[in-house]
Amino acid sequence: MEKTGLIVSVISEFCYVKEANNDLIYECKSKGLFRHHNQRPLVGDHVDFIVQNNDQGTITKIHPRKNELYRPKIANIDQTVIITSLQSPNFSSYLLNKFLAIVEYKGITPVIVFTKKDLLGQDDDLYDKYLQWYPQMGYQTFILSNKTPDSSEWDAFKATLINKISVFTGQTGSGKSTTINTLLEQNLIKTQEISKALGRGKHTTTNSKMYEISNGIVIDTPGFSSFDLREFNPEKLAISYHLFTENSRFCKFRHCLHLNEPHCKIKELVTAKIIPTFFYNDYCKIISEITERK
């Protein structure tokens, strides 16, 4: 009998598929024809599969993907939650803006979560210099403390996860694991069920971990914080951020890189303080990083 489901983990040649509309997870292998067509099943893929015996099966079809990340290898993402520490480690606009460029270029909606706000001093000017700009530029932004998980800000953040596939990323020490653990406190039973299902084989992994939270899917991928710009060139970066994509058509030159070209709409927006100077300077630094790697 053929079923449909979602790949929640890929370990070696095995795919763990959660059947649609229930919590059953099957250990599946993919048909050889996928390899012949250079197609590999990914976490997040919607698939058809045939159950052969007990809880094992074979994937027969991979449904078309709406998007795909290469590092890590994940498909069909609705949004990426970028966990960014305000202190310990110190806030880095450059790292955050690099994440935003890659995520937005892939057509994935970013959600920015600033953590460890309880560590900020009264005289800290991070909000005025940086944080206030992100919602002004149209980014969905939350400022959270894992010490106050019952706050209205936490409730609003949880609401963004409903019925969506969300990938969590963040630099080491940003509070990503703590944030996910806080979300999981009310979802422990389903988490244990999935963990038990994935742990029944002989395989161990440090690959993506998938959880059900607020009727949505949360993917925690350890390697996501290490994804890089190797597939980028300056031309792609120039149309990555949504403000750049929306306004590049008003630049004088069709393939404007927003650097030294005259009559550049992006630079006009920087001068008009619609795009903050630090954001534009980080963009220029990313361009330099890409150019130096070529």
pLDDT tens across 227-255, in order? 567 778 999 999 999 999 999 999 999 99
Listed residues 226, 247, 276: the one ending a domain: 226
* pLDDT greater than 80 at residue 225: no
Domain co-membership, 59 together with 78: no
Task: Tell me the pLDDT tens digit for each residue of 146-180.
Answer: 888 888 999 999 999 999 999 998 887 888 888 98
Listed residues 38, 64, 90: the one ending a domain: 64
Distance CA 86, CA 288 (A): 26
* Structural domains of the chain, count: 3
CA distances in angstroms from 49 to 29, 35, 59, 128, 198, listed in the order given: 9, 16, 4, 52, 17
Domain co-membership, 117 together with 239: no
Domain co-membership, 12 together with 153: no
Q: What is the CATH number of the domain that holds 82?
A: 3.40.50.300
Domain co-membership, 44 together with 104: no
Sheet holding 209-213: strands in order across? Answer: 140-143, 109-115, 79-85, 165-170, 216-220, 209-213
Query: Does the annotation list 251 as a binding residue?
Result: yes
- Supply the pLDDT for residue 228: 65
Domain co-membership, 146 together with 82: yes
Q: What is the CATH number of the domain that holds 276?
A: 1.10.40.50
- Supply the pLDDT for residue 222: 63
Query: Does the annotation list 221 as a binding residue?
Result: no
Domain co-membership, 146 together with 254: no
Mean local confidence (pLDDT), 21-43: 84
Domain co-membership, 88 together with 188: yes
Mean pLDDT of the chain: 86
More confident site: 160 or 10: 160
Domain co-membership, 162 together with 178: yes
Distance CA 176, CA 46 (A): 26
Domain co-membership, 60 together with 173: no
Q: What is the CATH number of the domain that holds 13?
A: 2.40.50.140
Task: Tell me the pLDDT tens digit for each residue of 200-215.
Answer: 443 333 466 778 887 8
Domain co-membership, 284 together with 220: no
What's this model's pTM, rounded to 2 decimal places? 0.85
Domain that holds residue 7: 2-64
Query: Does the annotation list 116 as a binding residue?
Result: yes
Of 33-47, 91-105, 201-215, the poorest mean pLDDT is in: 201-215
Q: What DSSP element (H or E) covers 6?
A: strand 2-11
- Supply the pLDDT for residue 213: 82
Query: Does the annotation list 175 as a binding residue?
Result: yes
Report whether 282 contacts 289 (CB < 8 A).
Answer: no
Residue count (the chain): 294
Distance CA 96, CA 278 (A): 12
DSSP 108: P
Domain co-membership, 213 together with 271: no
- Supply the pLDDT for residue 192: 47
Query: Does the annotation list 174 as a binding residue?
Result: yes
The percentage of the chain sitting over the pLDDT mark of 70, rounded to a whole number, equals 88
Report whether 15 contacts 30 (CB < 8 A).
Answer: yes
Listed residues 195, 226, 257: the one ending a domain: 226
- Supply the pLDDT for residue 203: 37
Query: Does the annotation list 171 as a binding residue?
Result: yes
Q: For residues 100, 104, 109 and 112, what is the CA-based torsion angle, rounded to 10 degrees?
A: 10
Query: Does the annotation list 170 as a binding residue?
Result: yes
Q: Which of 63, 44, 53 has its CA nearest to residue 26?
A: 53
SS3 65: coil
Domain co-membership, 85 together with 221: yes
Of 126-140, 210-224, 280-294, the poorest mean pLDDT is in: 210-224
